[in-house]
Amino acid sequence: MKRTVLIIGAGGVAQVVAHKCAQNNDILGDLHIASRTVAKCEAIIDSVRAKGAMKIAGDFGVHTLDAMDVAAVAALIGQTGAQIVINVGSPFVNMTVLEACIQTGAACIDTAIHEDPTKVCETPPWYGNYEWKRREACKAAGVTAILGAGFDPGVVNAFARYAVDACMDTVESIDIVDINAGSHGRYFSTNFDPEINFREFTGTVYAWQGGEWTENRMFEVMREDDLPVVGRHKSYLSGHDEVHSLAARYPHADVRFWMGFSDHYINVFTVLQNLGLLSEQPVVTAEGLEVVPLKLVKAVLPDPSSLAPDYTGKTCIGDFVRGVKDGKPVEVFVYNTSDHAQAFAEVGSQGISYTAGVPPVAAAMLIASGVWDVGHMANVEDLDPKPFLALLNRIGLPTRIKDADGDRALVL
């Protein structure tokens, strides 16, 4: 059954989502896209039309929306007849969008955890602070809500579930490694909203180790891996959404997230952080002007969406999963590599947006086909990973697996 889709947000990831929905509009239905700035929605639709991305004829709607306003979101769902909402707006709007879906019965997919703009890095498990408090409400309303269905979180959660189910009897550790080996050619830029990017790294780094939450500072713990395609890279223990749900599912395993950073990124980050320029708390200048330093830093940095045309190189994101199979230790690396220039050629976005934007469309297609239309709230690892990974194999994000038997495409 075809389902009308409402995309909330109009940034780089929304652009990918719109293109992928259009490419699969024989399964999904008409498309609507809404953000505070309608011109950004129109630009995305223009780009979709320019590429001739629609598989079959279909309609687009663009809408102005304040997604912090539950009633406005619910009204737009009603007006458009949307049955699936893909929320790729700011993480500050997750809970209002979810609430509108609970009220209207629409399925809800997001790609990152909810954040309160006034708080950085709350107590673990993060999902317990907001999303999971609405678990019962989703169940009562029969609403399918898939949390964190981007790449990481999202596909990496499915990688973990697949590896544990298919390759071992018991799991001992899940180490998710995210390496962007691409180059944007600028002195410095973040790959998505600098405000959100830096907020990830200024707080405590939570990992789940030895059956409890452990705390570190950013860039305190490093590992180095020789990875397929991208080669040898350093990565650093980082706080990230998926640790907080995977730790609940696999409490006897260690769950860690590792993000790759160049020495240059770390240097710029360290200077800004030590000077107080990444603070979300306002300071007052000698002239009496109240300024939030992080918002000025965002204003001087490149707009991440402007990087796409010149972005070259590849990403490699995957899960090292260790455990025991038939009494013997086993380790697998389940991963994907993506190419920035190829992503730009296909959908006009760089690889970071591409890897984040394709998975929620796959999730929407699985809801439309009924496979993932579970009628309750779920993190990605709560769902069968095989149809998800099989669909991603077909629509742009193929999974590979590397273990004692070699490095090969994952056939499902």
**Which residues in this chain contact a second copy in the complex, by CB under 8 A?**
187-188, 267-268, 271-272, 274-277, 279, 283-287, 289, 291, 293, 295-301
Q: Considering beta carbons, is residue 186 or 394 the nearer one to a second copy?
A: 186
Q: CB-wise, 49 or 264, nearer to a second copy?
A: 264
- Exposure of 32 in the CB half-sphere (CA atoms within 13 A): 21
User: Measured from the CB atom, is 50 or 284 closer to a second copy?
Assistant: 284
Nearer to a second copy, 7 or 272 (CB): 272
Residue 193 Cβ vs a second copy, minimum distance, rounded to whole Å: 9
8 Å CB contact between 355 and 311: no
How far is Cα 102 from Cα 142, in angstroms, rounded to an integer? 8
Angstrom distance (rounded) from CA 138 to CA 277: 40
Pairwise CA distance, residues 305 & 164, whole Å: 36
Query: What's the closest the beta carbon of residue 273 comes to a second copy, in angstroms?
Result: 10
DSSP secondary structure string, 269-310? HHHHHHHTTT-SS-EE-TT--EE-HHHHHHHHSPPGGGGGGG
Q: What is the distance, to the nearest Å, from the Cα of residue 6 to the centroid of all Cα atoms in its chain? A: 18
Alpha carbon separation from 178 to 145, 295, 395 (Å, rounded):
25, 26, 21
Task: Look up residue 189 and give its two tokens.
Answer: 């830029």
Could you tell me the CA-to-CA distances from 142 to 80, 300, 395, 408 in Å, in that order? Answer: 20, 45, 29, 39
Q: Which is nearer to a second copy, 208 or 269 (CB)?
A: 269
Give dist(CA 242, CA 245) in Å, integer.
5
Give the phi and the psi of residue 18 in degrees, each rounded to 5: -60, -45
Number of helices followed by number of strands (H, E) in the chain? 14, 19
Shortest Å distance, C-beta 296 to a second copy: 5
Least Cβ distance, residue 198 to a second copy (angstroms): 13
| Cβ closest to a second copy, residue 57 vs residue 289 | 289
Q: List helix spans (H) across 338-380.
A: 340-347, 351-368
- The answer to whether 147 and 381 are in contact (CB under 8 A) is no
Shortest distance (Å) from residue 199 CB to a second copy: 15
- The smaller minimum CB distance to a second copy, of residues 1 and 289, is found at 289
Is 117 exposed, middle or buried (CB count within 10 Å of its CB: 0-12, 13-18, 19+)? exposed
Minimum CB distance to a second copy, residue 187 (Å): 5
Indicate the residue among 116 and 407 with the shorter CB distance to a second copy.
116
Beta carbons within 8 Å of 332's beta carbon, 6+ residues apart: 163, 167, 320, 321, 401, 402, 403
Residue closer to a second copy, measured from CB, 123 or 281: 281
Smallest separation, CB 278 to a second copy (Å): 10
Q: Other CB atoms closer than 10 Å to residue 212's CB: what's the count?
A: 10
Q: How far is the CB of 114 from a second copy (least distance, A)?
A: 20
- Would you say 115 or 241 has its CB closer to a second copy? 115
CB of 263 to a second copy, least distance (A): 12
CA distance 120 to 123: 10
**Smallest distance, a second copy to C-beta of residue 298, A:** 6
